[in-house]
Amino acid sequence: MATESKPFEWRIRVYYEDTDAQGVVYYANYFRYMERARTEWLRALGVDQAELLNVQRRMFVVTATRAEFLAPARFSDEIVVTASLAGLSRATFEIEQNIFLPGHNDKLLVRGNITAAFLNADNLRPLRVPADIFEENS
């Protein structure tokens, strides 16, 4: 398995829907942002999750997560969410995902980590993670 030299990055704009009455992004919504970045990262790696689910009846599911919320994103901010492979076993893979506010010092807002598994969508049984999708396409 080749290592990802540089994390995948995805830009996301913060809309009113993402914020709450505390004036900042509601904490659970950072996990939505992380999934958007994972989805786009998988797309960039050649994985079409809709085809995977609807035709092959296979899907990725999150089995564990941890995150530290260091500073808030606010309405109208344009933030960057990263995704990079941090670990891989037969049954699961781990993705490091950070969220930062780009600028002269790229302020880190959230440090996240996601463990995912690969399942049969019909019976929710675990399948071997298709490790080849994470190999460097050259």
Token pair recorded at residue 34: 């992380």
Q: Across-strand partners of 16?
A: none
Among 4, 9, 45, 62, binds a copy of itself (CB under 8 A): 62
Footprint on residues 37-56 left by a copy of itself (CB under 8 A): 39-40, 48-50, 53
Q: How many CB atoms lie within 10 A of CB 99?
A: 26
From 7, 8, 19, 100, residue interacting with a copy of itself (rule: CB under 8 A): 19
Separation CA 134–CA 77 (nearest Å): 31
Query: Do 38 and 65 touch, CB atoms closer than 8 A?
Result: no
Among 5, 6, 46, 66, binds a copy of itself (CB under 8 A): 66
In the DSSP assignment, the letter for residue 129 is: -
The Cα–Cα gap between 66 and 42 comes to: 20
Q: Could you tell me which stretch among 19-27, 82-90, 94-102, 125-133 binds a copy of itself (CB under 8 A)?
A: 19-27
Query: Which one of residues 7, 8, 41, 72 is an interface residue with a copy of itself (CB under 8 A)?
Result: 72
d(CA 103, CA 120): 42
**84 touches a copy of itself by CB under 8 A:** no
Interface residues toward a copy of itself, by CB under 8 A: 13, 15-17, 19-24, 26-29, 31-32, 35-36, 39-40, 48-50, 53, 59, 61-69, 72, 74-76, 121, 124
Q: Which residues are catalytic?
A: 20
